[in-house]
Structure 1
Amino acid sequence: MKRIKPRSSGCAALIVLASVGASLQAGETMAASSEPSVASSAAPASGSRSANRALRKRVYAAFGKDKSIDAGSIGVSAKDGAVTLTGTVTDPAQIEKAGALAKDVPGVASVTNKLSVRREFGQ
């Protein structure tokens, strides 16, 4: 088999062509209308990635403006307006506060809050 990468696009598509000589030696016949098979990956567009990154930054900025939130151990991920909060906070009230702040950020469609309260050793 011969693999050919597309030259002009950054697409991860790969065109796979079967060797005609090997097919004919095996006694197979090829139809005149056969087309090469094309496999493509569903990589996100770079515009989508930058929009997700910008949304994450806006959520972190909202946490930074509110001094009652210790955002040092909070992780934020965003995908198409869906924001997920992970990590730990020092006070149970910060869990709800962080979720509310994230919901108020323009562009946030939903918030999944997976925050937990950090426990000190021995408690």
Structure 2
Amino acid sequence: MKNIQARALVIATLILAASASAWAQSGQTAGAASGAPGATGMEASTAAPANTRKANRALRRQVYAALGKHKEIDAGNIGITAKGGAVTLNGTVKEASQVDQVAEIAKSVPGVISVTNKLTVEKPFGGM
């Protein structure tokens, strides 16, 4: 039993020493680590991905809204992903002419830098 307690104490000491060493090597002052004004700690690094995700979702919604203005296009079978201005279109459309039309509509949305078009024409069930 004492052997297990001794091992646990050694492991806890090693973890504490490693975390203290990592803290000392990070080069941050106590004020920066605590979130004081001018801090460049975790607050800044977690805010950027959240803002990027929001921007990507907003761009995706804008592309869906632009497609919604074209009643001849059924956007229900179209999936849109946006990442940093690059839009990818997946899914199916009813007519071959709509493949390029949807891509052009997506390109016309402000903020869209590029469009990857992976749309296909929907095949009728049981048809040839």
- Correspondence 1:96-115 to 2 at 5 A: 96-115=100-119
Following TM superposition, the consecutive aligned residue runs of length 4 or more in structure 1 with deviations greater than 6 angstroms are none
Per the alignment, residue 7 of structure 1 pairs with none
Per the alignment, residue 117 of structure 1 pairs with 121
Give the alignment partner of residue 53 of structure 2, picking from 49, 59, 84: 49
- In the TM superposition, residue 19 of structure 1 has moved relative to its aligned partner by 5.5
Per the alignment, residue 95 of structure 1 pairs with 99
Measure the CA separation in 2 of the matches of 1:19 and 1:61. 53
Quick one: percent identity of the two aligned structures? 50
Q: Give yes or no for contact 1:74–1:87 (8 Å, CA) kept in 2.
A: yes
Cα RMSD between the aligned structures? 2.7
What letter corresponds to residue 110 of structure 2 in structure 1?
A: P
Measure the CA separation in 1 of the matches of 2:100 and 2:125. 24
What letter corresponds to residue 18 of structure 1 in structure 2?
A: I
The answer for unaligned runs of 5 or more in structure 2 is: 1-10, 27-44
Alignment size in residue pairs: 95
Per the alignment, residue 36 of structure 1 pairs with 22
Aligned CA distance change for structure 1 residues 113 and 36 (closer, same or farther; 3 Å)? same
Measure the CA separation in 1 of the matches of 2:72 and 2:84. 28
Measure the CA separation in 1 of the matches of 2:79 and 2:16. 50
- In the TM superposition, residue 70 of structure 1 has moved relative to its aligned partner by 1.3
Higher percent of residues as strand: 1
What letter corresponds to residue 117 of structure 2 in structure 1?
A: N
TM-score normalised to structure 1 length: 0.67
The answer for unaligned runs of 5 or more in structure 1 is: 3-16, 21-29
Q: Give yes or no for contact 1:69–1:94 (8 Å, CA) kept in 2.
A: yes
